Amino acid sequence: MLLTRYGQGTHFQFLTMPRALKIGIARHTVSRRGRMAARCTMSHILLIIAFTMVGIPTVLYLFWITHIQLDRLCIKHARRFCIRSGLEFRRARWQPEFDSPGIKTEFTLVQIDCFNLEKQRRLILLSVWPFGVRKTISNEPYPDDDDSQWPQVCEQ
């Protein structure tokens, strides 16, 4: 009887209800909402943890793959430069290019060890980016003492 009289209606009817009925309705409402909020919160937390545990390694792996592929692309452009220049590609090494204040740029410095038509070794330094060779920085005869600075390949 009280629920039909006070349970449906306006806010004014809730204010005019007896105090005991107000406390009972409020406790019932809060406890149900509290349980629902706890269930929703726990499921949301579990989803966030699952996405974090799967998402962060996936993103790091994709960054690594992209980095490796960009390096390969720059080396491919350097090889193409050697072929167009009539040089025989032997080996290459690369590193990021930096501005004068030390800020990393989008370009890569590729150093190429190659043979010219007379089978003389040349050391060429190129500025390369994913769209091609930007410029030739140096093209000089290969110094004999520079072999020790190149990475050595394990021979078995």
Q: How far apart (Å, rounded) are the C-alpha atoms in residues 77 and 126?
A: 10
| Domain membership flag for residue 85 | yes
| pLDDT value of position 18 | 60
| Domain membership flag for residue 86 | yes
| Domain membership flag for residue 150 | no
What's the domain count of the chain?
1
pLDDT along the chain (156 residues), means of 10: 48 55 52 59 86 94 94 92 90 89 89 88 91 90 68 51
| pLDDT value of position 80 | 93
| Domain membership flag for residue 84 | yes
| pLDDT value of position 154 | 47
Q: How far apart (Å, rounded) are the C-alpha atoms in residues 152 and 45?
A: 50
Paired tokens of 63: 């960054």
| Domain membership flag for residue 14 | no
For residue 93, give its domain range. Answer: 63-143
| pLDDT value of position 81 | 92
Is the separation of the CB atoms in 139 and 145 below 8 Å?
Answer: no
DSSP 3-state assignment of 116? Answer: coil
| Domain membership flag for residue 105 | yes
pTM of the model: 0.61
Q: How far apart (Å, rounded) are the C-alpha atoms in residues 138 and 125?
A: 5
